């Protein structure tokens, strides 16, 4: 089964069923509500990245494994074209994962685009480190309750085990290139 053949909700439903798990059990293990899982699996809502990560943790998959094409004997790509990047963002935040088709890798790299007024929303927290550079625009980085306004050309380095979020409070698009280790995507 190739991940790109099915909608994300349908794929999540199949993963849950393959593990012999009810929606209620998946909700219990992920910390989500039964109704949230039901609406996601029916593709009525697109899950936030943090929600998707919670579910995938229960199913034992990373984001890149979830979105990767499962071809037998697939040789990892050296050159990845723009249309081959894997979109894992939502709600005005585009996060395109640079992925060569291998199920495991040590570093994840993202091309991020924040529309004016968009935000990652809730505070994100996961094991590892993240470094990034603003290529264009402005972003407000919140780390452990402290605000760090950043402009194009500035970079950041954070411990992602500390709650953090990104918000574009400007009227212009913001673009960031970021790298994450260990790979949680």
pLDDT range class, residue 4, cuts 50, 70, 90 = very low
**Cβ pair 102, 62 in contact under 8 A:** no
Which has the closest alpha carbon to 161: 122, 130, 120, 140? 130
Give residue-wise pLDDT tens across range 9-46: 888 888 888 888 888 888 888 888 888 888 888 888 77
Q: Tell me the helices (H) and strands (E) count for the chain, helix number first.
A: 5, 9
CA distance 62 to 56: 6
Contact yes or no for 180/145 (Cβ under 8 A): no
- Token pair for 136: 């264009």
Which position has the higher pLDDT, 175 or 23?
Answer: 175
What is the predicted pLDDT for the residue at 68? 65
pLDDT (0 to 100) of residue 69: 57
Span 91-144, pLDDT tens digits: 788 888 888 777 667 788 899 999 999 998 777 777 789 999 999 999 999 999
101: left (phi over 0), alpha (psi -120 to 50) or beta: left
Give me the pLDDT at residue 36, please: 87
pLDDT single digits (tens) 48-102: 777 887 888 888 887 767 766 555 456 777 898 898 888 777 778 888 888 877 7
- Once rounded to an integer, what is the mean pLDDT over residues 159-184? 90
Contact residues for 76 (Cβ-Cβ < 8 A; gap 6+): 100, 101, 102
At a CB cut-off of 8 Å and minimum separation 6, what does 95 contact?
Answer: 49, 87, 88, 89, 110, 111, 112
Mean pLDDT of 159-178: 93
User: Which residues lie across from 151 on neighbouring strands?
Assistant: 138
Residues 112, 89: Cα–Cα separation, whole Å: 8
* Bridge partners, residue 175, by sequence: 113, 136
Length of the chain: 185
CA distance 185 to 140: 23
């Amino acid at each position: 089964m190739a991940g790109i053949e099915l909608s994300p909700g349908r794929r999540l439903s199949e993963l849950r069923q393959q593990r012999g798990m009810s929606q209620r059990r998946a909700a219990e293990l992920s910390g989500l509500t039964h109704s949230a899982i039901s609406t996601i699996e029916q593709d009525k809502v697109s899950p936030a990245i943090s929600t998707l990560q919670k579910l995938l943790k229960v199913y034992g998959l990373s984001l890149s494994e979830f979105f990767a094409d499962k071809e037998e004997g697939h040789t990892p790509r050296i050159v990845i074209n723009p249309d081959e990047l894997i979109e894992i963002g939502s709600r005005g935040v585009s996060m395109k994962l640079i992925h060569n088709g291998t199920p495991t890798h040590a570093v994840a790299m993202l091309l991020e685009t924040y529309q004016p007024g968009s935000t990652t929303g809730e505070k994100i927290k996961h094991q590892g480190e993240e470094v990034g550079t603003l290529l264009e625009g402005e972003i407000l980085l919140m780390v452990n309750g402290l605000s760090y306004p950043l402009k194009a050309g500035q970079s950041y380095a954070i411990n992602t085990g500390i709650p953090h979020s990104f918000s574009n409070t400007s009227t212009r698009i913001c673009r960031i290139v970021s790298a994450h280790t260990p790979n949680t995507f």
